[in-house]
Structure 1
Amino acid sequence: MARPRKITTPQVEEVVQETETVIEAPVAHEPVEVKKETKKKDEWEIKARQYYLAGSKSPITFTLASKHTPRHPLLWFDEKTNTQREIRYATNQKSCFVDEQNGSVTLEHIVFKDGVLNVPKEKQSLQKLLSIYHPHNGRLYNEFDPVQEAEYGLEDLEIELDAMTAAREIDIDHAEAILRAESGSGVSKMTSKEIRRDLMVMAKTNPRLFISLAMDDNIQLRNFAIKAAEQGIIRLSQDQRTFTWASNGRKLMTVPFEEHPYSAMASFFKTDEGMEIFSSIEKKLM
């Protein structure tokens, strides 16, 4: 069991430098012109596009707001004119902006089926409304991007691989501490092989949570305090506010308000007084 240590986090000052392109003046004493580099927007690609609802739910049908109403405002701020422009989907118009639509309009609902909406390349007005101008883009729905999805998939696989590798190499005390944070006191009745198995399963099914717990500096100290309580060395009061010695009832520490008692005990072990208590408990643990 690693001994607790005091941790001081150095303050890091982040300096962000803005890159500028400086054009030298061709004539002496002429003022220098400074121009900032700006990225050009990607050209719009004519292709079929797919959109999917955000979140895990996929209702049979979901109707997205397709015209401006007081309840569902559909407005897009035009930075060139500094005005709010009303948008709506009309099947017989080239533009989704109301001020660019002429004559009678044929309005149509925008309906997702089973959480998905496929828009063919012929419906450019609808695609631009959904991809560029609709205020619910990125909130209620997203556009499917195969390149981005591949990047996310690769990142998930790499995180899972890192978690599985760490779970295989981690020592048994650390493994027990991680599982106890999720499974509770039931870990005490498990064999080392059962702990190893459940840890590997956790690393595979929830690698981000596993890595977060594995990197938590307090996780082993929390486990140490829980084991001490389970073996009757220390006692936590019924109101979860005070730790005492089980043998004589002498108070060890008071848990700060709205803080998890064993997390507070782990932090306490890093103090000068806490280190002495930690050493005393360590000698009594079986």
Structure 2
Amino acid sequence: MAKKATAETVEVAPQEVAVKSAPKPTKPTWEIKDRVYYLTGNKTPLTFTIPGKHTRKHALLYFDEKSGKQREIRYATNQDSPLVDEQKGEVTMGHIRFYDGTLTVKKEKQNLQKLLSLYHPLKGKLYEEFSAVEEAKDQLDVLDLQIDALNAARNMEIDQIEAILRVEIGSKVNSMSSKELKRDIRLFARNNPQLFISLANDDNVQLRNTAIRAAEAGIINLSSDQRTFTWGTNGRKLMNVPFDENPYSAFAAFLKTDEGVEIYKSIDKKL
């Protein structure tokens, strides 16, 4: 009788699965190059000096997160590092001086560059480092804002154009033609887009213009002391102007109240 063949079990060692680790982020490297710094806030004095060493009046300290300690900094022209605890021997102090609002630091002065770019507490408050990328980004933002403002100006009704331009040039708008108004509002939108958009979104600007036009047309009267508005037809008092407020700004705010809404409707019909 033939014997049955028995199946032989072969044990296979478990295979290790290789797991790829995520690449570690590379630390930004310090680039050796000439650098330019500029005073912020449109400041361009002939000369302007910022502190270059730690004193009671000007604390030049850098907080090192690795050690958890404050480290003193100073600009020593004969030292490689701006950190005092890394400087050795006698030091020769230097001045950090901006001319006409800017300071150019050559690549050979790495100690001063690092002091200004990495450690100085006035960076971001009093001065900034020029960056071509950031400059391009800022210019792009301005261009986008100009486009938005010009599109809004192009589609704006003549009454709103007049209201915005009145803020800028006053009663001169009364003698301007519609084409002149449309031209000037677009120039205003291009040259000062942020202010233009702010005024275009301000309800009080339109209401204030309505009040001025109504006064010019004799629909309402403002007393000689600029404290009281009355109807031009019968002299009935409409409102008292609060102390130290522009009368037309105050009247614009009044037109937004429950009582003022009805008065606005009456004025708007007469205009």
TM-score bucket of the superposed structures, by smaller chain: 0.7 to 0.9
Within the candidate set 91, 95, 104, 1:105 is matched to 91
Deviation by residue 1:224-279 (Cα, 9 ceiling, x = unmatched): 11100111111223443322112332211233444433233223223332122122
What corresponds to 1:185 in structure 2?
171
Deviation at 1:159, TM superposition (A): 0.9
Residue identity matched to 1:281: I
Within the candidate set 125, 129, 134, 2:111 is matched to 125
Deviation at 1:115, TM superposition (A): 2.4
Within the candidate set 34, 44, 55, 1:69 is matched to 55
Output aligned runs, 1:230-245, within 5 Å: 230-245=216-231
Residue identity matched to 1:176: E
Distance 2:186 2:254 in 1: 31
Moved more, 39-48 or 205-214: 39-48
Gapped regions of structure 1 (runs ≥ 5)? 1-38
Output aligned runs, 1:162-173, within 5 Å: 162-173=148-159
Gapped regions of structure 2 (runs ≥ 5)? 1-24
Deviation at 1:155, TM superposition (A): 0.6
Given the superposition, is the C-alpha separation of residues 48 and 264 from structure 1 closer, same or farther in structure 2, using an over 3 Å criterion? same
Residue identity matched to 1:200: R
Deviation at 1:119, TM superposition (A): 1.8
Distance 1:44 1:261 in 2: 59
Deviation by residue 1:103-157 (Cα, 9 ceiling, x = unmatched): 1112111222332222233322211110121122122211001111100001111
The structure number with the bigger radius of gyration is 2
What corresponds to 2:233 in structure 1?
247
Distance 1:278 1:271 in 2: 10
What corresponds to 1:229 in structure 2?
215
Distance 2:258 2:26 in 1: 58
2:40 paired with 1:49: no
Q: How many residues are paired up?
A: 247
Distance 2:248 2:65 in 1: 53
Distance 1:262 1:41 in 2: 59
Output aligned runs, 1:2-151, within 5 Å: 42-151=28-137
Deviation at 1:179, TM superposition (A): 0.6
Distance 2:58 2:179 in 1: 57
Name the SS of the counterpart of 1:240 in structure 2. Answer: coil
Distance 2:48 2:265 in 1: 61
Name the SS of the counterpart of 2:94 in structure 1. Answer: coil
Distance 1:192 1:48 in 2: 53
Distance 1:148 1:53 in 2: 16
Name the SS of the counterpart of 1:218 in structure 2. Answer: helix
Moved more, 202-211 or 45-54: 45-54
Residue identity matched to 1:86: E
Deviation by residue 1:70-89 (Cα, 9 ceiling, x = unmatched): 33332223344444332111
Name the SS of the counterpart of 1:221 in structure 2. Answer: helix
What corresponds to 1:216 in structure 2?
202
Deviation by residue 1:17-37 (Cα, 9 ceiling, x = unmatched): xxxxxxxxxxxxxxxxxxxxx
TM-score, normalised to structure 2's length?
A: 0.82
Deviation at 1:43, TM superposition (A): 4.1
Name the SS of the counterpart of 2:234 in structure 1. Answer: coil
Aligned-pair Cα RMSD in Å: 2.2
Residue identity matched to 2:246: H
Residue identity matched to 1:183: I
TM-score, normalised to structure 1's length?
A: 0.78
Residue identity matched to 1:100: E
What corresponds to 2:258 in structure 1?
272
Residue identity matched to 1:263: S
What corresponds to 1:19 in structure 2?
none
Give the share of equivalent positions with the same residue, in percent: 63
